[in-house]
Amino acid sequence: MRRVLLAAPLAVVLLASPSPAAAQPWVVAPASDGADVISQLFWFTLVLATIVFVLVEGLLIYSSLRFRRRAPLPTREPPQIHGNTRLEVMWATVPALILIGLFGITVSRLGDLSQIPTDPNTLHISVTGRQFQWEFAYGNSGVKSNDLHIPVGTPLVFDVTSTDVIHSFWVPDLYGKIDANPGRVNRITFKANKPGEYRGVCAELCGAGHGGMLFRVEAVSQGEFQQWLQQQQAGAGAPAPAAVAPAPQPNTGAVASAVPSPAVKPAASPAAGASPVAPAPAPAPAPAAPAGANPADGAALIPQKGCGACHTIPGIPGATGNIGPNLAGVASRNRIAGGAVPNNGPDDLKRWIMNPPALKPGTAMPNLGLTDDEATKIVAYLETLK
Ligand code: CUA
């Protein structure tokens, strides 16, 4: 009996106390106005539920101990009690009131969350789920990406849909889940208020590759976001198939020079003899390209391998595909394949392009059967895309 006495309060304490993951504020660290509302609602409900739980369990434990059968056993039957109108009314009314209150608060908060801003300056981002990756298109900029880039402090509207089965778009730190249904657009809105990197997932079992249907969210300042957009546009607007040499891209120069490190190597822009990038101030040492591989060889190989049918690749004539991610800046991403694959240097990138399905089952990117040598050359070029 003593053991039960000790264990009962301990169990209550364990159930009611926060998780041991004390380093993090909680499972979710809200970083947008919408996530704040959801988080407040969560905490309010949890605290209320904890109070009710402790009260009910406490009374239960008290009653079982206080009124238990004791020795010596009574010689006569103890008083038998049937019904207590006041108590019964109370335990029906109080929970009903709590539920009605929670319902009211939830509905009003959901109403706040679903206020789609009509401000013309709002950035609209189209979110398309497909087995097994996400695609984000930014307003009418023509820019698409597989990681989500957002400016902080700006109201964002997401038009969420799918091309095949039901997926669910979820960035826990930024918003609740929203289904991506084929043939339907679900619209959500939020405003990120903290710069940072957030994790996004698909929250609806959608097939064999569901677990890898991840994406990164990069929330940056308005200025950095515009810069990223221009960098991507420079890639997307690059060489039309007919053009042999890429037309000078004013944006490319501007963006490249605005990037702190002079990462673009002069020798690394093979197809860009006329590119404004070429006369870079000092010949910086090749940062990441594997020794011996000439990026120019990779640039020559990429059109042969047909990479441009799916990818937009800056500096590669005709590489304007938009099925896979735009590869502008690919060497600077620390994760690729929608966040499923680490990208900490040429070796990671090489492993990926040599056999994508091995690293991310269900990926749309095929195994092209590249030889080791071909992969090394292609990676040498891709590593110049900072
Ligand atoms: Cu898409 Cu799970």
Tens of pLDDT, residues 109-121: 888 888 888 877 7
Residue 24: CB atoms within 10 A of its CB come to 9
Looking at the chain, how many residues does it have?
386
Shortest-distance atom of ligand 1 to CA 210: 2
Regarding the beta carbon of 202 and ligand 1, being less than 6 Å apart is answered yes
Shortest-distance atom of ligand 1 to CA 202: 2
**What mean pLDDT do residues 2-11 have?**
54
pLDDT for the residue numbered 353: 86
Ligand 1 centroid – CA 126 distance (Å): 17
Ligand 1 centroid – CA 210 distance (Å): 4
Q: Given pLDDT bands bounded at 50, 70 and 90, which one contains residue 281?
A: very low
Ligand 1 centroid – CA 39 distance (Å): 24
In contact, 331 and 386? CB cutoff 8 Å: yes
pLDDT for the residue numbered 212: 86
pLDDT for the residue numbered 331: 83
Q: Alpha-carbon distance 343 to 352, whole Å? A: 9
Task: Please give the biggest Cα pair distance in the chain.
Answer: 107
pLDDT for the residue numbered 364: 77
Residue 377 vs residue 288, higher pLDDT: 377
Q: Is the pLDDT of residue 285 over 90?
A: no
Q: Which of 157, 335, 194, 383 is nearest to 375 (CA)?
A: 383
Q: Which two tokens stand for residue 93?
A: 């009314």
Compute the mean pLDDT over every residue in the chain, rounded to the nearest whole number.
78
Q: Is the pLDDT of residue 8 over 60?
A: no
Residue 150 vs residue 24, higher pLDDT: 150
Regarding the beta carbon of 210 and ligand 1, being less than 6 Å apart is answered yes
Q: Is the pLDDT of residue 235 over 70?
A: no
Residue nearest to atom 1 of ligand 1 (CA): 167
Q: Is the pLDDT of residue 260 over 60?
A: no
Terminal alpha carbon distance of the chain? 68
Q: Is the pLDDT of residue 278 over 60?
A: no
Share of the chain above pLDDT 70, in %: 77
Q: Which two tokens stand for residue 308?
A: 């441009």
Regarding the beta carbon of 130 and ligand 1, being less than 6 Å apart is answered no
pTM of the complete model: 0.59
Q: Alpha-carbon distance 236 to 43, whole Å? A: 44
Regarding the beta carbon of 203 and ligand 1, being less than 6 Å apart is answered no
Residue 124: CB atoms within 10 A of its CB come to 14
Q: Given pLDDT bands bounded at 50, 70 and 90, which one contains residue 9?
A: low
Residue 254 vs residue 331, higher pLDDT: 331
**Residue-wise pLDDT tens digits, 46-97:** 999 999 999 999 999 999 999 888 888 778 887 888 889 999 999 999 999 9
Regarding the beta carbon of 180 and ligand 1, being less than 6 Å apart is answered no
Regarding the beta carbon of 167 and ligand 1, being less than 6 Å apart is answered yes
Shortest-distance atom of ligand 1 to CA 129: 1
pLDDT for the residue numbered 224: 92
Q: Is the pLDDT of residue 101 over 90?
A: yes
